[in-house]
A and B are shown apart, each in its own frame.
Chain A
Amino acid sequence: MSKKSGEYLINRRDNQYEVVIGLEVHAQVLSESKLFSTSATKFGAEPNTQVSLVDAAFPGMLPVINEFCVKQAIKTGMGLNAKINKRSVFDRKNYFYADLPQGYQISQFKDPIVGEGKVIIDLPDGHKEVGIERLHLEQDAGKSIHDLDPQNTFVDLNRSGVALMEIVSKPDLRSPDEVSIYIKKLRSIMRYLGTCDGNMQEGSLRADVNVSVRKKGSKEFGTRCEIKNVNSIKFMQMAIEYEANRQVDLIEEGKTIDQETRLFDTKKNETRSMRSKEDAHDYRYFPDPDLLPLEVSNEFVNKLKSEIPELPDDKKKRFINEFKLSAYEATILVSDIEIAKYFEEVVAKMGKNKDMKLAVNWITGELFAVLNSKNLEITKSPVSAKNLAILVNLIKNGTISGKIAKTVFELMLKNDEDPQKIVEEKGLKQQSDPKALEELIDKIINNNREKAIEYKQGKEKLFGFFVGQAMKASGGKANPQLINEILKKKL
């Protein structure tokens, strides 16, 4: 495997293979109730406590579309720069399974609510456009639980009927890293829009991964395999790596690749055949006669458009232009809506005389380190944006040094205390009175006459010794810049 200038290729003998990946992402719509019923959608509820007669497919029960979910799907489509279809149709996808009470899933087949669009992803060496084929609304199935009883399978229908958006990308992705960046970008856009919480642990975001390989330079696609229902970015990357290598090995052995559906075994780190093309379900799609075609007016769509917030790409541009951030810094800060919100609050609270660079460094440095080590989301940050802004201002106006600031920050972690107060109470204010510092330095030079002579004779390394002595004597509070200046003068 080589990664020349970011290109992901698989090498066998003299052959180089490119990997082609397309994703079908299933994103759970953020909504209080299900797509066609009024049942709640809360995660982690007791099994079968969020199930209506419609969700359990009792005789004579009928689906009624949840308008909020429609709005969420359209907003997401707008976030993907996609065409919004004014008329879409719900179809039945027919198959039998114990956790599919109706015996069919209501989905959209020929006429999805959202058509073609695109997502820009940032790569280390620039950015790339990933095409979106479509987005459609569909119901989730329930959950079969096989490990509670040796004889029986239990079924939990809490998820049954929950609204999903299936976002289908074009086969535009070329490496596991691109997949990771793409998923994170999708997640970010939907979190900005408030249309999906993107919580992969809770299954709010899963993907079917289509993988094929072809010789580098080839224009034609290879035969693809679909890896079903992968629920973490890490597993997606592992699955792609395994699957791409498997396919390359087959080609190298002169064998052909069967188009099939495969499963990723996370324990063995391998993909396994689930069913071949011949065994593929015939879903017998047809328009659901219980539902009329979904028609939305221009006014409806325009109103939603007016509700779309600033999205990551625009925010990034603004951060670069308005705050003079580097593209790299801006990318990090806009990657998640909550981080962006935090940053913008810090900026607002810093007032007029602000040091943007310093603020960014503190957020992406000290603060992220703490959040990482404590495994916290930024919304649960122990230090509020307001107090972080005050801290940055204290450094900027010379009240405390960067080093002292770290001490203050440590103290702030406990109760999100006002750093100003901490500085005053603990007497941590920087000593910037030149007279007092001169006296202090005179004393040190007097006490270390021999070293002062050595320094003058050329042992320049000793300068650091005098700085250290001065800092120590001031209890770390001395303004280091002043110390430097005075020492240079006196020695």
Chain B
Amino acid sequence: MSEITKQSLTELVESIKNKKLSSSEVTKAFIERSEKSKVLNAFITEDFTSALDKAKKFDQKPNLDLKLPGIPMAVKDLFCTKNVKTTAGSKILNNFVPTYESTVTENIWSEGAILLGKLNCDEFAMGSSNETSFFGNVQNPIDKNLVPGGSSGGSASAVAGQLTPITIGTDTGGSIRQPASFTGTVGLKPTYGSCSRYGIVAFASSLDQAGPMAQNVKDCALLQEVISSFDAKDSTSIDFKRSHYSKDLTNNIKGKKIGIPKEYRVDGMPKEIEDLWQKGIEYVRDCGAEIINISLPHTSYALPTYYIVAPAEASSNLARYDGVKYGYRANGENLIDMYEKTRSEGFGAEVQRRIMIGTYVLSSGYYDAYYLKAQKVRRLIKNDFDEAYKKVDAILTPSTPSSAFKIGEKTNDPVSMYLNDIFTVPVNLAGLPGISIPAGHDAKGYPLGLQIIGKAFDEQNILNIAFAMEEKINFKNKITDWWIK
């Protein structure tokens, strides 16, 4: 049984299609392992009983033409799931049960997958370590003292720990790629407009994007194929021709031009990151791709720009959590008192900090200096990429400036926490696709990731490059199952 959870998604789909395994067997295996893995705190809500029922039902009348036939999977608790509690990692939604389903999860279930439960995350996806969750921090399967990254920390931990064969996260400034990098897994942030935002608890609307997280590139491609769709219910969804990401996946990247941006060599970057990047460059060269040095001159402005735009949108997006309609409500003397108590008791410190920042930068008198300026810089950052893509097909960078840090290490230093997203944030600001793949280990044996950034709607290309590199890198995650007694 334990062998089942070691299988990749592609292998599991194969096994179910060949009737070597039933959906019930697979589902049971992941549930049993999850039961033994509670210490990781990857789940906020388990939906195991219902998952087993659905698996049984699937086995009675299996539809093997589906892309995810009877495959169990857990999803980040930012996706609204019909009749299953959805908290966004916050006390303020602790009792919230949606009557509706997000488009992305709907796409997944309609391809035959089965919901295992909802995965832990930073509160409203605001965080880089999963430590801002109201439901407690998540442990990294790599080492019990390590954060799994964030905000999709529960998702990364669950994939790396084999509690779910695949999962989906959301990425506003690196929330898929950074935890993927910290846990030795693969995570893709698609082009803005590729996956519908309908039914995803909003953090920063112009940056949020759902994406797949998996153990390998092929699984990631298959899941991206399932979740990406045009959706009229999301006005920012884009109707472009989506390729068959898994079927069209190829390791032939001969002649592809890969850009290396000099501005990503930041001060104080550890040597092992620099070495990893160099190794990555060798790998793509080995695959027949051409390396071209490029410049993205406004890179250093990306982080400050992000920390204006994202909190501004968040401060407005989170106004609806006011205790009036749903979610947590504190008693108050009057309406204003109720608002103040509800929101100060319902939101955690990091969320409150960002609401304050966002409210400030949108205030009259400050709007032009902060928000408007940030929007202009955002345009310049996008222009940098547009310029670069006249010369190259994709860009290779490290995913993060360091490997996973220790739990509690940065909780009192928000700026150092924010610096974690330095390589991922520009991609969100420009609305581009980016993928993080595990590429090696640091001296302590912790995984390190490389990021491949693509042109808009060119997911296939970066998946192909990642696929080719994956073969060369032959990464093995060092997970000892220390948490299972």
User: What mask results when residues 341 to 374 of chain B are scored 1 for a CB within 8 Å of chain A, else 0?
Assistant: 0000000000000000001001110010001000
The smallest beta-carbon distance between B263 and chain A, in angstroms, is: 27
Residues from chain A with Cβ under 8 Å of B205 in the complex: 289-290
What is the CB-to-nearest-CB distance from A45 to chain B, in angstroms, rounded to a whole number?
A: 19
Query: At the interface, yes or no: B202 with Cβ under 8 Å from chain A?
Result: yes
* Contact between chains at B235 and A64 (CB < 8 Å): yes
Summarize B's interface: helix, strand, loop or mixed: loop
Which residue of A is nearest B102, CB measured? A60
Judge whether B469 is part of the interface by a CB distance below 8 angstroms. Answer: no
Nearest CB of chain B from residue A216's CB, rounded to whole Å: 35
Asked if residues B362 and A94 are in contact (CB atoms below 8 Å), the reply is yes
Q: Tell me, yes or no, whether A433 is within 8 Å of chain B by CB.
A: no
Q: List 10 A-B contacts (CB under 8 A).
A: A59-B201, A60-B200, A96-B339, A98-B335, A103-B319, A284-B316, A285-B362, A286-B371, A289-B313, A291-B235
Residues of chain B contacted by A57 (CB below 8 angstroms):
320, 325
* Interface size of B in residues (CB-CB distance below 8 Å): 42
Tell me whether A101 and B320 are in contact (CB under 8 A): yes
Give the Cβ gap from A4 to chain B, nearest Cβ, in Å: 44
Q: Report if A98-B235 is in contact (Cβ < 8 Å); known contacts: A60-B201, A104-B319, A286-B312.
A: no
List A201-243 residues whose CB lies under 8 Å from chain B: none
> Could you tell me if B364 and A282 are in contact, using CB atoms closer than 8 angstroms?
yes
Q: A292 touching B236 by the CB < 8 A rule?
A: yes
Contacts of A101 in B (CB 8 A): 320, 324-325
CA distance A103 to B325 in the complex (A): 12
Query: Does residue B292 face the partner (Cβ distance < 8 Å to A)?
Result: no
Binding site for B on A (CB under 8 A): 53, 56-65, 92, 94, 96-98, 101-104, 153, 155, 282, 284-286, 289-292
- A58/B362 in contact, CB under 8 A: no
Q: A103 to B320, Cβ gap below 8 A?
A: yes
- CB contacts (< 8 Å) of A153 on chain B: these are 335
Which chain B residue has the least Cβ–Cβ distance from A90?
A: B235
Q: Which residue of A lies closest to B364 (CB)?
A: A282
**A62–B335 touching, CB < 8 Å:** no
Instruction: Please measure, in the bound complex, the distance between the C-alpha atom of A64 and the C-alpha atom of B232, giving whole angstroms.
Output: 8
Across the interface, B198 reaches (CB within 8 A) one of A60, A98, A103, A292, namely A60
Chain A residues lying within 8 Å of B313, measured Cβ to Cβ, are: 289
Per-residue A-contact encoding for B96-120, CB less than 8 Å = 1, 0 else:
1011101000000000000000000
Contacts of B197 in A (CB 8 A): 60, 62
Measured CA separation A63–B236 after assembly (Å): 10
Let me know if A284 and B200 touch, CB within 8 A: no
- 8 closest Cβ pairs, A-B complex: A103-B319, A284-B362, A289-B205, A289-B206, A60-B199, A57-B320, A59-B201, A60-B80
The reply to whether the CB of B322 lies closer than 8 angstroms to some CB of chain A is yes
Known pairs A103-B319, A286-B362; A62 contacts B325 (CB<8 A): no
B residues 319-345 in Cβ contact with A at 8 Å: 319-320, 322, 324-326, 335, 339
Interface flags for B57-85 (1: CB within 8 Å of A; 0: not) read 00000000000000000000000100000
Cβ–Cβ contact A94 & B319, under 8 A: yes
Which of A53, A98, A284 is the one whose CB lies under 8 Å from B324? Answer: A98
> Quick check: B235 and A284 within 8 Å, CB to CB?
no
Any A CB within 8 A of the CB of B233:
yes
Query: Which residues of chain B have C-beta atoms less than 8 A from A155's C-beta?
Result: 324
| Shortest Cβ gap from A247 to chain B (Å) | 26
Knowing A57-B325, A96-B339, A286-B367, the reply to whether A65 touches B235 (Cβ < 8 A) is yes
In the bound complex, do residue B80 and residue A59 qualify as a contact, i.e. CB atoms below 8 Å apart?
yes
Whether A282 touches B363, Cβ cut-off 8 Å, given contacts A62-B234, A102-B319, A104-B319, is yes
